[in-house]
Amino acid sequence: MSYRFDWSVLWSGPSGSWLLQGLVTTLQISGAGLALAIVLGIASGALRTATASPLRWLASAYVEFFRNVPLLVWMFFWYFGVPPLLPQTIQDWLLDRGVESWAGIFALGVYHGARFSEVMRAGIQSIPKTQLEAALSTGLSRVQAYRWIILPIALRLIVPPATNETVNLLKNSSVALTIGVAELTFQTRQIETYTAKAFEALIAGTLIYLLLCLVVSLFFGYIERRVAIPGLFVQRRLEEA
Amino acid sequence: MKRRRIVILAALMACLPALVCAQSTLEKIDKSGVLIIGTRTGSPPFAYVNKNNEWVGFSIDLVEQAVSPVLNKKLNKQIKIEKKESTPATRIPLLTSNAVDLIAETMTDTQSRREQVDFSLTFFVTGAQFLVRKGSPIKGVQSIAGRRIAAQQGSTNAKIIRERVPTAKLVEFPDQPAAFQALAQKQVEAYTNDGIQLAGLRAKAPKPDDWAVVGEFYSYDPYGMAMRKNDSDFRHVVNVGLMDAISTGLYFKLYDKWFGSKGEVPYPLIPEGKRFLELQVVPK
């Protein structure tokens, strides 16, 4: 098969700027989705360990409802299902400001918030009960104990699975192309359709995703080392005390 | 023992040329006994799934009733036809990866596409228009500046709008049903596609009178069947099939079935169109 490689389609001509535009859009929706997921995840994960059962039930309902349905279905729900239920003024406002991107951000954020919540819960529950008892016995309220003692340790514990979830969110942002968001995967398909240079487009897309995810994991690795509490956990190298 | 080994080795070596040489499509169909076509599932009346859950359409009928007899005669056996779904974004990769042998749907024959695939004769002529809600202010390509327009990813229509009206806000969906849903929910103001496909979509909508197909053709879209490049034997078979159908009147019978007054989508054949089709039939 005689295939002529033409890498210039990635940076010149009409298709030149598409890859960059797609990358920017991917970063935008992933960033906003991640912010939403972290807020929902921490809140819901903490609530799942609450003593008051209505709060626990609420958080559990959120988690089970949102993580047990495929993300693709959620994309359609947030784009086709939610806007018609909103008041007309909000609908018009959204239509002018990229309703597709907002639907994508909410779908990603809420879905990954549910998954993140479980990671958070695992972190909180792996802290010995004695820590909470000690905190309460010094006079802190339950909320204060969570805020000052439990959550700081839990957040340090969950850095590896949190990295996993972040990288997953970045990759799942590609599902947004089904509701018309012009993100990176969409743009690689566009380049492929308009220039017939399938290999160049797909290789470029693959390398960019790989690079993004590597940067994220390296960044989280740096964070992990930076905020580690010396002597509290088993580190990579077991050092003499 | 030694003789058996020589026989096996000889048999393997005899197979080698078959593995190394690229197969032509006719050889592939002959060997497998199946012609695999790529076609749409949501583009009435060319190729769609009807309410009895049957995968039917004008393009499918052309393959089954016009191309198939010529293919059977050429290969001297009954060839089965298998249908696979294709969309604007996937049809050329499906063809070049040998997953399908023929794309028989609503593919526009263009010069740039001819650099990647070969086309049969033109079997339908239409142009791009807009599907809007009745009473919409959009009257054609001149009135879409700054408005939200839905299109299909990978279609020629999206490309033309991008070039002709850069201020139009294009929202590209992977397939027709998603785009129509967005139009129905007023998330876009118009949906652009080939006029005949819009007419088909409108005819199949729950309330056809709510919709209107507007605008002059802003592009010329001749439909052809696509196949892999450098495969002139297979292309000849497909073309002879289409030519025979036009000269014997089978084409017009099928046209009437789908586009006639009692058809799925009434769309009368203009005299120039009929003449164009007839002139494509070269003498035997």
Identical topology for domains B22-125+222-279 and B127-220: yes
Of B92, B174, B187, the CB nearest to A95: B187
Could you read off the pLDDT of B199-213 as tens digits, one per residue?
888 888 888 889 988
Residue B131 has pLDDT above 90, yes or no: yes
Mean per-residue pLDDT, A31-59: 91
Of B89, B173, B187, the CB nearest to A99: B187
Give me the interface pTM, i.e. the ipTM. 0.72
Domain boundaries, chain A: 7-227
What is the reported pLDDT for A239? 54
pTM greater than the 0.95 cutoff? no
Look at the domain B127-220 and name its fold. Answer: D-Maltodextrin-Binding Protein; domain 2 (3.40.190)
User: Reduced to 3 states, what is the DSSP secondary structure of residue B216?
Assistant: coil
Domain boundaries, chain B: 22-125+222-279, 127-220
Mean per-residue pLDDT, A210-217: 94
Residue B28 has pLDDT above 70, yes or no: yes
A71 to A108, A115, A120, B9: CA distances (angstroms): 7, 12, 20, 53
Could you read off the pLDDT of A101-118 as tens digits, one per residue?
999 999 999 999 999 999
What lies within 8 Å, CB to CB, of A229 at 6+ separation is A153, A156
Which residue type sits at B170?
L
User: Reduced to 3 states, what is the DSSP secondary structure of residue A122?
Assistant: helix
Residue B154 to residue A178, Cβ atoms within 8 A: no
CA distance B281 to A37: 63
Give the pLDDT band (50/70/90) at residue B12.
low
Neighbours of B162 (CB within 10 A): 16
Which residue type sits at B51?
K
Domain A7-227, CATH number (from 1.10.3720.10, 3.40.605.10, 3.30.1380.10, 1.10.10.10): 1.10.3720.10
Neighbours of B1 (CB within 10 A): 4
Of B93, B159, B178, the CB nearest to A198: B93
Mean per-residue pLDDT, B70-97: 89
Q: Give the DSSP letter string of B72-116.
A: HHHHTSPPEEEEEE--TTTHHHHHHTTS-SEE-SS-B--TTGGGT
CA distance B129 to B157: 9
Residue A42 has pLDDT above 50, yes or no: yes
CA distance A223 to A220: 5
Residue A37 has pLDDT above 90, yes or no: yes
CA distance B249 to B227: 25
Which residue type sits at A86?
L
Give the pLDDT band (50/70/90) at residue B177.
confident
Residue A80 to residue B92, Cβ atoms within 8 A: no
Could you read off the pLDDT of A55-78 as tens digits, one per residue?
899 999 999 999 999 999 999 999
Q: What is the mean pLDDT of chain B?
A: 87
What is the reported pLDDT for A1? 47
Residue A178 to residue B182, Cβ atoms within 8 A: no
Which of B110, B172, B173 would best serve as a mutation to test chain A binding (most A beta carbons within 10 A)?
A: B172
**Interface check A21 vs B, CB under 8 A:** no
Q: Smallest CA–CA separation between A95 and chain B, in Å?
A: 7
**Interface check B171 vs A, CB under 8 A:** yes
Residue B94 has pLDDT above 80, yes or no: yes
Residue B172 to residue A180, Cβ atoms within 8 A: yes
Of A180, A189, A190, the CB nearest to B173: A180
Q: pLDDT above 70 covers what percent of chain B? A: 95
Could you read off the pLDDT of B212-259 as tens digits, one per residue?
888 888 888 899 999 999 889 999 999 999 999 999 999 999 999 998
Mean per-residue pLDDT, A77-82: 91
Neighbours of B7 (CB within 10 A): 9
**Interface check B65 vs A, CB under 8 A:** no
Mean per-residue pLDDT, B105-124: 89
CA distance A76 to B178: 9
| Prior bond of B45 cis (ω within 30°) | yes
What lies within 8 Å, CB to CB, of B13 at 6+ separation is none
Residue A178 to residue B174, Cβ atoms within 8 A: yes
What is the reported pLDDT for B253? 93
Residue A80 to residue B181, Cβ atoms within 8 A: yes
Chain A hits for B182, CB-CB cut-off 8 Å, are 80, 180
Backbone torsions φ then ψ of B224, nearest 5 degrees: -135, 165
Chain A hits for B185, CB-CB cut-off 8 Å, are 80, 83-84
Residue A240 has pLDDT above 60, yes or no: no
Rg (CA), chain B: 22
A60 to A49, A53, A157: CA distances (angstroms): 10, 10, 22
B22-125+222-279 belongs to which CATH class?
Answer: alpha beta
Mean per-residue pLDDT, A207-234: 89
Searching chain B, which residue's CA lies closest to the CA of residue A176?
Answer: B173
Could you read off the pLDDT of B34-78 as tens digits, one per residue?
999 999 998 888 999 988 999 999 999 999 999 999 999 999 999
Beta bridge partners of B36: B82
Interface of B with A in 119-138 (CB under 8 A): none
**Interface check A179 vs B, CB under 8 A:** yes
The label of the residue with tokens 């809007």 reads B132
What is the reported pLDDT for B88? 81
Instruction: Report yes or no: A205 and A29 within 8 Å, Cβ to Cβ.
Output: no
Q: pLDDT above 90 covers what percent of chain A? A: 58
A29 to A102, A212, B205: CA distances (angstroms): 8, 14, 34
Searching chain A, which residue's CA lies closest to the CA of residue B174?
Answer: A178
